[in-house]
Amino acid sequence: MKKILSTLFCIGALLLTGINASASDTLTTASGIKYVRVKAGDGIHPTAGQSVKVIYSRLSSTGRVVETNAGGKSFKFQVDNHEVIPGWDEAVKQMSKGEKWYCIIPSELGYGKKGMEGVIPPNATLYFYIEIVDIK
């Protein structure tokens, strides 16, 4: 039941933001990240130690954007260097330059039981649009 609700939420959020998707478009990684490929990339994936620049938006559980760098400066981090949540490291290694995902990151790959005081509650599932704009 939880899996069905999560998939329905993913599709609902995509429809709310103007992206058409079906249940068959939603993929799940071995660790449990659910995602829909919104835009294809160039096919070249970043590897551990490389720097990536991303444009992202974090959404609330209702689909409202609560944090974004869209329209501003891209966010840069080094892959697998513990600079971001584990879910981001995992996701970007499966993406390529130019690729954009809508993804649902389970709590254990986000901020877990602790959350982020005043920003992310404990055990929160995270919802993101992530687009890789550069890999070096």
- Give first-to-last CA distance, the chain, whole Å: 41
Structure letter (DSSP) for residue 23: G
Domain around 42: 2-135
Q: How far is CA 130 from the centre of its chain?
A: 5
Q: What is the CATH number of the domain that holds 25?
A: 3.10.50.40
In the chain, how many domains are there?
Answer: 1
Tell me the whole-structure pTM to 2 decimals: 0.82
Per-residue pLDDT band at 25 (split at 50, 70, 90): confident
Residues 92-115: tens digit of each pLDDT: 999 999 999 999 999 999 999 999
